[in-house]
Structure 1
Amino acid sequence: MSLSLQYCNVTVNDMDESLAFYRDALGFEVRNDVSSGEFRWVTLGSASPSDVELVLSEPHAGRSQADGDALQELLTKGVLQQLIFRTDDVDAAFEKVRATGAEVLQEPIDQPWGPRDCAFRDPSGSMVRISQAPKA
């Protein structure tokens, strides 16, 4: 039996602003853009069809008012998910994302535990890290 992660949900405040970050800055492609009443969700994937897809949705989409409010509060505080992506060239990825005006949290550095990585905030405040495996 094999098991793999198919989707990772990312809660966002502004769908269009977040879509621009994940599509234009990080290079994901839109796979699905679905409206449901006053809300919508967008599924993004990388060029490789076997990779995990991201599903962007707003705090109140498909949730009760109370649950959406609670999720919105956590999102506003910046304490929700942290996404960590892998690349073969973290310095090039850093420059590409920084050129879009994304908030830089950490420039590329070699971590004592091995990888070289950098960090940004997405438009909704979630931390996005980009990591490169150490050279052998």
Structure 2
Amino acid sequence: MDLTIFSSFLPQDDPDAALSFYRDTLGFEVRQDVGYDGKRWITVGPPGQPGTSIVLHPPGVDPGITDDERRTILDMMAKGTYGGILLATPDLDGAFERLQSADAEIVQEPTEQPYGIRDCAVRDPAGNLIRIQERR
């Protein structure tokens, strides 16, 4: 099999805040911004990597989801325990400085992990955990 990761999905509960964070803070380009039935799906991705995207979607819109399940998702998002993604950069310190200057919610400053990776962690406006590893 020849498989690639094309898109990942992260929930967002404030499309404008999500757009600002992923476009203006992380520097991703907007690939699509689609409204439907009063909700917004925003697809973003790193410049120069058209085959990799993150779809920022309204929480709990999957077919067949119950109101209880939707509330659980929203509760988990509020705690920052629902979604997450791992990114990588050759300049972790520069990326971290940019995140700090944008007042991103810092979870962990750049740290040498015991398993041999140097990384940091932040939360996006919806509470999703974003870890950024340093590419060596």
| Structure 2: runs of 5+ lacking an equivalent | none
1:47 alignment partner in structure 2: 47
Rounded to whole Å, the distance in 1 between the matches of 2:42 and 2:50 is 18
Q: Once the 2 structures are TM-superposed, how far is the Cα of residue 61 of structure 1 from its aligned partner?
A: 3.6
2:97 alignment partner in structure 1: 95
Q: Once the 2 structures are TM-superposed, how far is the Cα of residue 34 of structure 1 from its aligned partner?
A: 0.4
Q: Once the 2 structures are TM-superposed, how far is the Cα of residue 83 of structure 1 from its aligned partner?
A: 1.2
Instruction: Please tell me the residue identity of whatever aligns with 1:93.
Output: A
Question: SS of the residue aligned with 2:18?
Answer: helix
User: Is 1:111 equivalent to 2:113 in the alignment?
Assistant: yes
What value does the CA root-mean-square deviation take over the aligned residues? Answer: 1.6
Percent identity over paired residues:
37
Q: Once the 2 structures are TM-superposed, how far is the Cα of residue 79 of structure 1 from its aligned partner?
A: 1.1
Instruction: Please tell me the residue identity of whatever aligns with 1:100.
Output: A
Report how many aligned residue pairs link the two structures. 134
Q: Once the 2 structures are TM-superposed, how far is the Cα of residue 125 of structure 1 from its aligned partner?
A: 1.1
Q: Once the 2 structures are TM-superposed, how far is the Cα of residue 82 of structure 1 from its aligned partner?
A: 1.9
Question: SS of the residue aligned with 2:86?
Answer: strand
Contact 2:10/2:84, CA 8 A, preserved across alignment: no
Rounded to whole Å, the distance in 1 between the matches of 2:60 and 2:107 is 28
Rounded to whole Å, the distance in 2 between the matches of 1:117 and 1:48 is 23
2:58 alignment partner in structure 1: 58
Q: Once the 2 structures are TM-superposed, how far is the Cα of residue 70 of structure 1 from its aligned partner?
A: 2.9
Question: SS of the residue aligned with 2:73?
Answer: helix
Q: Once the 2 structures are TM-superposed, how far is the Cα of residue 75 of structure 1 from its aligned partner?
A: 1.2
Contact 1:35/1:41, CA 8 A, preserved across alignment: yes
2:75 alignment partner in structure 1: 73
Pick closer, same or farther for the CA change 1:62–1:82 going to 2, 3 Å. closer
2:22 alignment partner in structure 1: 22
1:121 alignment partner in structure 2: 123
